[in-house]
Amino acid sequence: MASELKNDRFICALLRQSVDVTPVWMMRQAGRYLPEYRETRKRAGSFLNLCKTPELACEVTLQPLQRYPLDAAILFSDILIIPDAMGLGLNLVENIGPKFDKPMRTASEIKSLSIPDPESDLGYVMDAIRLIRKELGGSVPLIGFSGSPWTLATYMVEGGPTKEFGLVKGLMYDDPASMHHLLNILADSVVLYLNAQIAAGAQAVMIFDTWGGILTPLSYQQFSLHYMQKIVSQLDRQYDGQVIPVTLFTKGGGDWVKDIAATGCDAIGVDWTKNMGDVRAEVGGQVALQGNLDPCVLYASPEVIRQEVAAVLESYGRGNGHVFNLGHGIHQHIDPENVAVFIDAVHELSAQYHN
């Protein structure tokens, strides 16, 4: 399995095969907490330029791996470049977050959307993947990713960050047909996009459903999970003789893990609001689990970081199927030294849980 990789712990753990120590990576591992990221970002001129210049995207993808013994690299990009490629016009506004020039608020605006072609409209992502694979030289696997249709739709309808989700949920309740039309176009776009990432060299893929947890249990099934299921069933799960594991991460979705596992995904991302042991008891026979240290633990002292890592490892328990991660992305004000303590603690303290 994944025999060309020098370190295949991450892939093995996702497939619930045995490993020597628990593999670890961090959501948002390439980002603003690293001074070298801030330097490259400045050089790029803008966040979008960084995403759209394969050499620079490659450079920042590799930065955290040069500092820490991480078990996977994740493509540097953003979930919002799909709507950008659909013509919505993405801007990242300092201290506010992502904004679209042309949000999708009406049935006719939604009807006018079309599916981007991954190789022509998003070719810079595929070029970045090919370059990163070359630079990694088989040291660790490369993760590709996308947003979930529901999470992409929240940004497209709201037009920017929100705490209340009134516009997108209003549209969902008031005009479900338009919402389903939008989600179908996004699901088809994500399938093409992730399959193109796999063909370009992504060795595992992850779908970020950051806003699935704001839905009611029933609307989660209908408006988020249904479309992730559709994507899982259409992905190229084998490529070039290798299995391509698929991870689904619904933030706030801890109560719905049985349904998430039933999509046929290989692994589920777990945020910090659940005990890993409890989730494992529910679905550990079907899927691997990824998580779930509270990202705020990294503000604490090295002693506390080690204790909290130990607690997550103990909660998951002995055996296969655990990929260590934070329960959500790393914050920008974290001290990079604390990240080193965290990564080392996972490797050192997890050996006793594997034979």
Question: Which residues contact ligand CP3 (rule: CB under 6 A)?
Answer: 27-32, 41, 47, 74, 76, 78-80, 92, 97-98, 145, 208, 210, 329
CB of residue 352 vs ligand CP3: minimum separation in angstroms? 29
DSSP 8-state symbol, 24: B
Q: Which residue is nearest to ligand CP3 (CB)?
A: 210
The answer for residues whose C-beta is within 8 angstroms of residue 174's C-beta and 6 or more apart is none
Residue 78 a catalytic site member? yes
Strands 142-147 and 97-100, by their bridges, are: unpaired
Closer Cβ to ligand CP3, 161 or 317, answer by number: 161
H or E stretch covering 316: helix 302-316
Annotated catalytic residue, options 9, 16, 41, 133: 41
The full DSSP string for 202-242 is: -SEEEEEETTGGGS-HHHIIIIIIHHHHHHHHHS--EETTE
Q: Which residue is catalytic, options 71, 78, 127, 209?
A: 78
CB closer to ligand CP3 out of 257 and 349: 257
Q: What 3-state class would DSSP assign to 323?
A: strand
Residues paired with residue 323 on neighbouring β-strands, in sequence order: 290
Q: Which residue's CB is nearer to ligand CP3, number 49 or number 112?
A: 49
Are the C-beta atoms of residues 83 and 91 closer than 8 Å to each other?
Answer: no
Smallest separation, CB 28 to ligand CP3 (Å): 4
Among 33, 155, 220, 227, the one annotated catalytic:
155
Active site residue 28: yes
**What is the closest distance, in whole angstroms, from the C-beta atom of residue 317 to ligand CP3 in the complex?**
27
Which residue, 132 or 288, has its beta carbon nearer to ligand CP3?
132
Tokens of 103: 């949000």
Catalytic annotation present for 155: yes
Question: Minimal distance in Å, beta carbon 76 to ligand CP3?
Answer: 5
N residues, the chain: 355
Known catalytic residues are 28, 32, 41, 78, 155
